[in-house]
Amino acid sequence: MPAHEIAANGRASASTLIRQPAGRPGPSWSEARQIAFDCASALPPVGVPLASSLGRTLARDVIARQNTPHYASSAMDGWAVNGTGPWSLSPQGCTLSPGEASTIATGGLVPSGADSILRTESGHLTHNAEGELLLTLNDHGRHGEPLPGRHIRRAGEEATAGEVLIPAGTLMNPAHIALAAVAGNDELQVHGRAMVAIVLTGAEVITSGVPAPGQVRDTFGPQLASVISLLGATPGSPFRIGDSYQDWLSALGDSGSLTGQRPDVTITTGGTGRSGTDHFRAAVAALGGRLLLDGVAMRPGHPAVLAELPDGRFLLGLPGNPLAAMMALVTLAEPLLAALGNMSMSAVGHVISGADVDPNPGRTRLIPCTFNQGLAFPVSHAGPGMMRGLAWADGVMAVPPRRRPVR
Ligand SMILES: Nc1nc2c(c(=O)[nH]1)N[C@H]1C(S)=C(S)[C@@H](COP(=O)(O)OP(=O)(O)OC[C@H]3O[C@@H](n4cnc5c(N)ncnc54)[C@H](O)[C@@H]3O)O[C@H]1N2
Ligand code: MOO
């Protein structure tokens, strides 16, 4: 059956919490993505040193601060010459009159009066009758040497002062960085990037070795920060708390100390359920925050919660089940971090499923899949608590809820 989804582009006009009718399992998958995108606005641009601009998006054009090259220079080792030979030798740096030459190295400043560069291998130094050094062409010279302008890098031949070299909106790569340096720039203005604090919960979670029954090995600590970086944000080091309400309250209330810098978003794992050890919602309420999304009509990952604190910080509660958390992350963190980083929400493509997939009556099913010959195939081992299927997936299918039969 076809697995297709809604291409969610652009912002909706309203950016408020979608109130769900009683009995409905939360906003639809695409509504939830849009809410997560619309609730945040772009962080202000920041100035960063050149090397730190790699992978960032330029917020302001990079211009040539002067002509590039900024002086006429030699492209070869040899002699700067005026006219055709033979030439008498002048000291370096002097203006050359017709019939004069001076030695020059690659990159050297071409003296005024010079109209060409004669390469070392094309010239020959002899002494004239008066014992003065005389430069002549030798047998290795190419036909027509020296040609006017030959081997001279003209000032401004690469760029003129004020010219835009890299326009705003460019995703910076290493060559862009080198170009900005050549043009005399030290710091670049790039779009802001969200700082994300990570809070991992669960007293049963262990961080090394093989877990005993009742324990689980942490799947988030070793990978969540990398996924957040891939989504265009800057993660802090994961911070672990137990299951007490006090732990939650202090972690969510004081996450400035989690990153050394005030985070724009705090992502938590676990504790999104409604049992006695699940404190996300209570902590948000105690901190004066409001829920923007309380559950999404999707499976897995439906208990995900998105909230905003009075200081503007966003809190994203991911369910504890490992695959459920990743699906909630791509559904909600991707658009939220895109909005904060002044990026577009990633587009959703349409693909045909190569295998029968049962839609869920009321929720979008998110299923890691592989692609083969233009078709999507669900992977096996894709239960909410499993990571094995996702590890080999090429993408995720969003299978829309089953439509009600038309009467
Ligand atoms: N009575 C109900 N129980 C549950 C429901 C429900 O609707 N009614 N929903 C289930 C679904 S779906 C999910 S998802 C989970 C959500 O649970 P929480 O977000 O409260 O997470 P926890 O209970 O803390 O943990 C769930 C599960 O995940 C394991 N976990 C937690 N952290 C880690 C980690 N760092 N690495 C690996 N695994 C982790 C934890 O041990 C639990 O097994 O609720 C269901 N229950
Ligand atoms: O939706 Mo739970 O999030 O199935 O694992």
Q: Is residue 376 part of a domain?
A: no
Distance between CA 47 and CA 187 in Å, rounded? 6
H-helix or E-strand spanning residue 125: strand 123-127
Residue 91 tokens, joined = 């000291």
- Whether 336 and 197 map to the same domain: the answer is yes
Q: Is residue 384 part of a domain?
A: no
Which distant-in-sequence residues (6+ apart) come within 8 Å of 159 by Cβ?
Answer: 64, 67, 68, 165, 183
- Whether 272 and 304 map to the same domain: the answer is yes
pLDDT band, residue 256 (cuts 50/70/90): low
Distance between CA 8 and CA 91 in Å, rounded? 70
Which distant-in-sequence residues (6+ apart) come within 8 Å of 212 by Cβ?
Answer: none
Three-state SS at 35: helix
Q: Are 62 and 188 in contact (CB under 8 A)?
A: yes
- Whether 279 and 149 map to the same domain: the answer is no
Q: With 60 as the cut, is the pLDDT of residue 189 above it?
A: yes
- Whether 241 and 227 map to the same domain: the answer is yes
Average pLDDT over residues 294-320: 96
Average pLDDT over residues 10-36: 64
CA–centroid distance, residue 378 to ligand 2 (Å)? 17
At 10 the pLDDT is 29
Over the chain, what is the mean pLDDT? 90
* CATH number of the domain that residue 58 is part of: 3.90.105.10
Q: Is residue 381 part of a domain?
A: no
By most ligand atoms within 8 Å of CB, the mutation choice from 294, 321, 360 for ligand 1 is 321
At 196 the pLDDT is 96
354-400 pLDDT per residue, tens: 999 999 999 999 999 999 999 999 999 999 999 999 999 999 999 99
CA–centroid distance, residue 161 to ligand 1 (Å)? 59
CA–centroid distance, residue 389 to ligand 1 (Å)? 18
Q: Residue 316: which of 362, 255, 386, 400 has the closest Cα?
A: 255
Q: Is residue 394 part of a domain?
A: no
H-helix or E-strand spanning residue 227: helix 224-230
At 11 the pLDDT is 32
Q: With 80 as the cut, is the pLDDT of residue 254 above it?
A: no
Give just the sign of the alpha carbon dihedral 48, 50, 55, 61. positive
- Whether 305 and 197 map to the same domain: the answer is yes
* CB atoms closer than 10 angstroms to residue 178: 11
Q: Is residue 163 part of a domain?
A: yes
At 247 the pLDDT is 92
**H and E: helices and strands count for the chain:** 9, 27
- Whether 172 and 296 map to the same domain: the answer is no
At 20 the pLDDT is 45
Ligand 1 pocket member 269 (CB < 6 A): yes
Ligand 1 pocket member 219 (CB < 6 A): yes
Q: Is residue 315 part of a domain?
A: yes
pLDDT band, residue 233 (cuts 50/70/90): very high
Domain hosting 110: range is 73-153
Residue 144 tokens, joined = 């027509």
In order, the DSSP letters of 189-239 are EE----EEEEEEE-TTEESSSPPPTT-EE-SSTTTHHHHHHHTT-EE---E
Ligand 1 pocket member 202 (CB < 6 A): yes
* CATH number of the domain that residue 238 is part of: 3.40.980.10
Residue 99 tokens, joined = 């019939």
Distance between CA 231 and CA 210 in Å, rounded? 30
Q: Which ligand is nearest to the CA of 215?
A: 1
Q: 395 phi and psi, to 5 degrees?
A: -170, -170
Three-state SS at 246: helix
Give just the sign of the alpha carbon dihedral 20, 25, 31, 36. positive
Q: Are 33 and 332 in contact (CB under 8 A)?
A: yes
Average pLDDT over residues 222-241: 94
Q: With 80 as the cut, is the pLDDT of residue 148 above it?
A: yes
At 131 the pLDDT is 85
For 245-371, where are the alpha helices, taking DSSP H only?
245-253, 256-259, 280-286, 322-328, 334-340
In the chain, what is the straight-line distance between the N-terminal and C-terminal CA atoms, in Å? 22
Residue 313 tokens, joined = 């910080």
- Whether 327 and 222 map to the same domain: the answer is yes
How does DSSP classify residue 50? G
Distance between CA 237 and CA 389 in Å, rounded? 26
CA–centroid distance, residue 20 to ligand 1 (Å)? 23
- Whether 82 and 131 map to the same domain: the answer is yes
Last residue of a domain, one of 340, 368, 398: 340
Last residue of a domain, one of 340, 370, 400: 340
Chain position carrying tokens 């299951």 = 243
Amino acid at 354: G
Q: Is residue 350 part of a domain?
A: no
Q: Is residue 284 part of a domain?
A: yes
- Whether 231 and 312 map to the same domain: the answer is yes
pTM recorded for the entire structure: 0.82
CA dihedral 353, 355, 359, 363 (to 10 degrees): -60
Amino acid at 339: A
CA–centroid distance, residue 14 to ligand 1 (Å)? 32
pLDDT band, residue 145 (cuts 50/70/90): confident
Q: Which ligand is nearest to the CA of 329?
A: 2
Distance between CA 98 and CA 190 in Å, rounded? 51
- Whether 177 and 239 map to the same domain: the answer is no
Ligand 1 pocket member 268 (CB < 6 A): no
pLDDT band, residue 17 (cuts 50/70/90): very low
* CATH number of the domain that residue 117 is part of: 2.170.190.11
Q: For residue 232, how far is the Cα from the chain centroid?
A: 5
Q: With 60 as the cut, is the pLDDT of residue 2 above it?
A: no
Residue 189 tokens, joined = 């203005």
Number of domains comprising the chain: 3
93-104 pLDDT per residue, tens: 899 999 999 999
Ligand 1 pocket member 303 (CB < 6 A): yes
Last residue of a domain, one of 153, 181, 203: 153
Q: Which ligand is nearest to the CA of 302?
A: 2
Q: Are 115 and 150 in contact (CB under 8 A)?
A: no
At 360 the pLDDT is 93
Q: With 80 as the cut, is the pLDDT of residue 259 above it?
A: no
Name residues contacting ligand 2 (CB within 6 A).
299-303, 319, 321, 324, 384
At 77 the pLDDT is 96
Average pLDDT over residues 108-126: 95
Ligand 1 pocket member 218 (CB < 6 A): yes
Q: With 70 as the cut, is the pLDDT of residue 406 above it?
A: no
29-54 pLDDT per residue, tens: 999 999 999 999 999 999 999 999 99
Q: Whose CA is nearest to atom 43 of ligand 1?
A: 321
62-91 pLDDT per residue, tens: 999 999 999 999 999 999 999 988 999 999
- Whether 95 and 230 map to the same domain: the answer is no
Q: With 90 as the cut, is the pLDDT of residue 316 above it?
A: yes
At 260 the pLDDT is 64
Q: Which ligand is nearest to the CA of 298?
A: 2
Q: With 50 as the cut, is the pLDDT of residue 19 above it?
A: no
- Whether 55 and 163 map to the same domain: the answer is yes
Q: Whose CA is nearest to atom 4 of ligand 2?
A: 300
